[in-house]
Amino acid sequence: MKRLLNIPIWVVEVFTTAKSFQGNPIIGSPVLNKMGLHVFRLLVSHAVMRGRMLLLSPMISAEDRKSYFQKGYIVKENFLTDEEFQSLENAARTFDGEIREARQGNTLTHRAVLSPEVLEGRQVLEDVIDNRNLNKLTKFTSGHLRKPLYYLEEVKNQYCSGAEDPQKTFHNDTFHPSMKCWLFIDDVTPKTGPFTFVPESHKLSWKRIKWQYRMSLEASNDKNGYHAKGSTRYLEGDLKELVLPEPKPFTVKKNTLVIVNVFGIHRRGNSKKSTRLALWGDSRTNPFIPFPGIGGKFANQIQYYFLGLYRKKMDEAAAARGHRSPWHIIETDEK
**Over the stretch 80-125, which tens digit does the pLDDT of each residue have?**
999 999 999 999 999 999 999 999 999 999 999 999 999 999 999 9
pLDDT single digits (tens) 19-69: 999 999 999 999 999 999 999 999 999 999 999 999 999 999 999 999 999
Read off the pLDDT band of 6 (50, 70, 90).
Answer: confident
Identify whether 137 is part of a domain.
yes
When divided into structural domains, the chain yields a total of 1
Identify whether 147 is part of a domain.
yes
* Statement: residue 335 has pLDDT above 80: no
- Looking up residue 268, the CATH number of its domain turns out to be 2.60.120.620
Percent share of the chain, pLDDT over 70:
98
Identify whether 332 is part of a domain.
no
3-state SS string over the chain? Answer: CHHHHHHHHHHHHCCCCCCCCCCCCCCCCHHHHHCCHHHHHHHHHHHHHHHHHHHHHHHCCHHHHHHHHHCCEEEECCCCCHHHHHHHHHHHHCCCCCCEEEEECCEEEEEEECCHHHHCCCHHHHHHHCCHHHHHHHHHHHCCCCCCEEEEEEEEECCCCCCCCHHHCCECCCCCCCEEEEEECCCCCCCECCEEECCCCCCCCHHHHHHHHHHHCCHHHCCCHHHHCCCCECCHHHHHHHCCCCCEECCCCCCCEEEEECCCCEEECCECCEEEEEEEEEECCCCCCCCCCCCHHHHHHHHHHHHHHHHHHHHHHHHHCCCCCCCEECCHHHC
pLDDT at res. 161: 84
Show the domain range for 268: 2-284+297-320
| Mean pLDDT, the chain, whole residue set | 95
pLDDT at res. 312: 95
Identify whether 334 is part of a domain.
no
pLDDT at res. 154: 97
Identify whether 329 is part of a domain.
no
pLDDT at res. 235: 93
Percent share of the chain, pLDDT over 90:
94
